[in-house]
Amino acid sequence: MHATAVDSHRRLVLVRRDDIEHLLLIGGPTDVVVERDIRLSALRRPALTGDGGGHQPAPPPRAPQPAPAPVRQAPSPPPASTAPTPVRPHQPAPAPRPAAQSPQSATITPLP
């Protein structure tokens, strides 16, 4: 934990836990989270405390590596036709027809 006085009432506090830092402003009427979830990188920067002693210079940055060429794959054959087979539209059954009558001689009697 590191703390720095901002003024006579407030302090800026850096809290570290599990390689994650949180910057807090405490004191005064309220406490404020200034920055949270600050991740620590592999290379640490020297503290800006002004002591200027005993720190080894950081190694020079490495030249960026060119990205590997993408591997080309043979084009895959087009998928089999997925179009649905045509289906005949449903037709209603034909209406029943009256049975054909055999020709009979009809006898008609007049009404009295």
pLDDT (tens digit per residue) in 86-100:
677 777 777 777 766
Residue 20 contacts residue 40 (beta carbons within 8 Å) = yes
pLDDT digits (tens, 9 = 90+) for 4-44: 888 888 888 888 888 888 888 888 888 888 888 887 765 55
pTM of model > 0.85: no
Taking the C-alpha atoms of residue 20 and residue 41, their distance in angstroms, rounded to an integer, is: 10
Residue of 60, 4, 46, 51 whose CA lies nearest to 27: 4
Burial class (CB in 10 A: 0-12, 13-18, 19+), 10: middle
Distance CA 96, CA 48 (A): 101
